[in-house]
Structure 1
Amino acid sequence: MEIIKKITENNDAPLALSIGNFDGMHEGHNLLINKVIEVCGKNNCSPAIMTFNPMPQEFFRQHSFFKIMSDEDKLAHLENMGIKKCYLIPFTQAFSEIDADTFINQILLKSLRVEHLIVGEDFRFGYGRKGDLNYLMENYSDLIKISSVKTIKEIDTKIGSSKIRKLIIDGRFDEANQFLLEPFNISGRVEHGDKVGRDLGYPTANIKICNSYPINGIFYVKAYFKNNEFNGIASIGTKPTFSGDKPLLEVYIFDFNKDIYGENLKVRFIKKIRDQIKFDNKEQLIKQMNDDYKRVKEIINN
């Protein structure tokens, strides 16, 4: 898959394009991508996606927003599903101010040569999100073939990335994962920490995370290192007992004794055990950590 990070003139085959964040790669995204592939199978065009980094919600610092999936995992899924071109466009202030007509005429039609546009029924675009599916159909149906995919609903509730984020924040991973192509996880490079976990009897692999993660607590997790799976306990938050201020993901991996500093680690969240607590002393914390360990072991054994 070709990854293109700026709007350039497309001199190859015309495109069948879908546009969106594609965060989490849930079933709604799956339907859009399959529709793109289907259209290309019937026409002489290339399957393509336009997505953004940062995502608009990140750029505007929307409250409680976080990425469900890393860009690396998202791109891998898009490629595996048959997408040939991915426009990973930087979302900037200037880009956000492009009006709907300029976006269609100058970017989609003139530069990218889009012949087929496949979008969800709630698709919005252009400055102030003024463009929508009705606007497209009324003004551009003679210039570009437009297909829409209906929103997936469960018990009259729209299933989208916002709903899935809420489930993740609430620790309802089983429910969230039902809608995702890959279970929710956080990946990152293991960094040197302050060795507090080691002193407490639970040495951890430490991964810095972005400030936007509104997830807090102690979790039963699966850790993945070089295609091997391990059970573990993870703490995500600011280490309140030690007056931490920066969010950190700390993972105690069961039956694991390797030096993995600088290596990549993927952490899949299985079940929330409790919220983070500020303890009065180290002894109280160790007792609680022992209790957490026992509880996770019980979950595994049952």
Structure 2
Amino acid sequence: MVQSLAAPSSPRFVVAVDPEVPPPGFEGAVAAIGNFDGVHRGHVAVLKRAEAVARQLGRPCIVLTFEPHPADFFFRTDTIFRLTPQETKAVALARAGVEGMIVLTFDAALAAMPAEDFVREILVRRLKIGGVVAGYDFHFGKGRLGTPAFLAEAGQRYGFAVEIVERIAADSSGSIVPASSTETRKALEAGDVERAQTLLGHPYFVIAEVIHGEKRGRDLGFPTANLRLHHSVRLRHGIYAVRVRIGETWYGGVASFGTRPTFDNGAPLLEVYIFDFSGDLYGKMIEVAFVHFLRDELKFESVEALVAQINDDAAKARALLAD
């Protein structure tokens, strides 16, 4: 199945799920291959190298990725805190300059496929790949026996270019901690969104549909856009200074992610008070980028105490975002 996704920074971004042939215009493409969860600085290095190889060969550049995440397949659903579920990943990849994304369903058949068969049947026969770029830690095939060295050797045999990108440090200080999805998840679980931004190379963001809530924020004088995030999200519950994209316009805001202990201790919900905005957002997709962690979620003894705290949170968020 081939879809077209309108994404920021890209006129049309192609998403093809389990195609039997290359998407139109992508035969002989150079593919950056991997999970790309988070599209962090290490992933971007792979993407940029794939784009360079594609230019050298005069080919289009595409990403080849997998859904669900292999860890969720092998262990259980939601083993992995997904930084970028499929739709969000497509937006991040489009912003990085990639032209499209091929998604392979990671199921029992794919998990049991030997590395040689994956190269021959999927990369060569089905997708007619002209080149592959992968990270230093990419493994594939049954038993993860498809190493970067195996991929390079297979490329020589089957006639497609292969390049392997080495580890990218988290920052320019010589840190030995690589930019990784695992380290980013740890940072977000601790509420350290600044550390996550260093690892990712961009703020951690979510994209979700605005849904109807209990309208408590409106009654309190702080109308909020309510978003139900991907069920795997394990972002620390608390209050954040955020930036919100509505259409192509960005606004500042303050957001609460958690279970609303003052009221109901319900399912986790992201509630965003958007500064200097008025309008109906129900049913619309908006983007929320997390900039600063302000405090933990608290239970208040009175509505008056909660309103006073929200005013303080909003003032702090405005000041931080202004900086």
Find the aligned partners of 1:63 and 1:229 in 2 and give their Cα distance: 31
Q: Match of 1:50? A: 64
Change beyond 3 A, Cα 1:223–1:42: closer
Match of 1:94 in 2: 109
Shift of 1:70: 5.0
Tell me which residue corresponds to 1:15: 29
Which of residues 45, 65, 68 is equivalent to 1:31?
45
User: Hey, what's the Cα distance between the residues in 2 that align with 1:48 and 1:253?
Assistant: 35
- For 1:71-220, what aligned pairs fall within 5 Å after superposition? 71-79=86-94, 83-137=98-152, 141-143=156-158, 144-154=160-170, 155-180=175-200, 182-215=202-235, 216-220=237-241
1:27-52: CA deviation from partner (whole Å, max 9, x where unpaired): 32222222222223333644332112
- The whole-number CA distance in structure 1 between the counterparts of 2:256 and 2:289 is 12
Task: Choose which of 231, 249, 253 in structure 2 pairs with 1:232.
Answer: 253
1:82, 1:152 → 2: CA distance?
19
**Cα distance, 1:136–1:255 mapped onto 2, change above 3 Å:** closer
Whole-angstrom CA distance in 1 between matches of 2:250 and 2:21? 44
Deviation sequence 1:239-265 (CA, Å, 0-9, x none):
122233311110112233322212222
Q: Return the alpha-carbon distance in structure 2 between the equivalents of residues 297 and 111 of structure 1.
A: 52
3-state DSSP of counterpart to 1:31: helix
Taking the aligned partners of 2:116 and 2:294, their CA distance within structure 1 comes to: 50
- Tell me whether 77-86 or 275-284 shows the greater mean CA deviation: 77-86
- Residue 259 of structure 1 aligns with which residue? 280
Count of residue pairs the alignment pairs up: 302
CA separation in 1, counterparts of 2:246 and 2:95?
22
Report if aligned partners of 2:63, 2:100 keep a CA contact under 8 Å in 1.
yes
Deviation track 1:58-97 (CA, whole Å, cap 9, x = no partner) reads 4444767333335445334544655444212232333333
Secondary structure of 2:211 counterpart: coil
Q: Which string of whole-angstrom CA distances, capped at 9 and with x for unpartnered residues, describes residues 1-28 of structure 1?
A: 4422114134964232221122332232
- Whether the 8 Å contact between 1:26 and 1:160 is mirrored in structure 2 is yes
The answer to whether the 8 Å contact 2:88/2:207 transfers is no
Q: CA RMSD in A?
A: 2.8
Q: Quick one: structure 1 residues 3 and 259, their matched pair in 2 at CA, closer, same or farther if it must change by over 3 Å?
A: closer
Q: Residue type matched to 1:228 in 2?
A: T
The one-letter amino acid paired with 2:161 is K
**Counterpart in 1 of 2:7?**
none
Instruction: Look up the equivalent residue of 1:75 and give its one-letter code.
Output: A
Q: CA deviation at 1:274?
A: 0.9
The amino acid across from 1:196 in the alignment is: R
> Secondary structure of 1:244's match?
coil
Q: CA 1:95 to 1:242, structure 2 compared with 1: closer, same or farther past 3 Å? A: farther
Distance, in Å, in 2 between the alignment partners of 1:245 and 1:96 is 37
- Tell me what 1:241 maps to: 262
CA separation in 1, counterparts of 2:315 and 2:101? 46
Equivalent position SS for 1:273 = strand
Q: Separation in 2 of the partners of 1:241 and 1:25?
A: 36
**Alpha-carbon distance in 2 for matches of 1:7, 1:227:** 31
Name the SS for the 1:42 alignment partner.
helix
| SS of residue matched to 1:3 | strand
2:5 matched residue in structure 1: none
Q: State the AA in 1 paired with 2:225.
A: A
TM-score by length of 1: 0.86
Partner of 2:262, secondary structure, is helix
- Given that residues 7 and 107 in structure 1 are in contact (C-alpha distance below 8 angstroms), is that contact kept between their aligned partners in structure 2? no
2: CA distance between counterparts of 1:34 and 1:296?
34
d(CA) in 2 for partners of 1:173, 1:121: 26
Identity of aligned residues (%): 32
Q: State the alpha-carbon separation in 1 of the partners of residues 322 and 58 from structure 2.
A: 54
- Partner Cα separation in structure 2 for residue 28 and residue 8 of structure 1: 29
Cα distance in structure 2, aligned partners of 1:62 and 1:181: 28
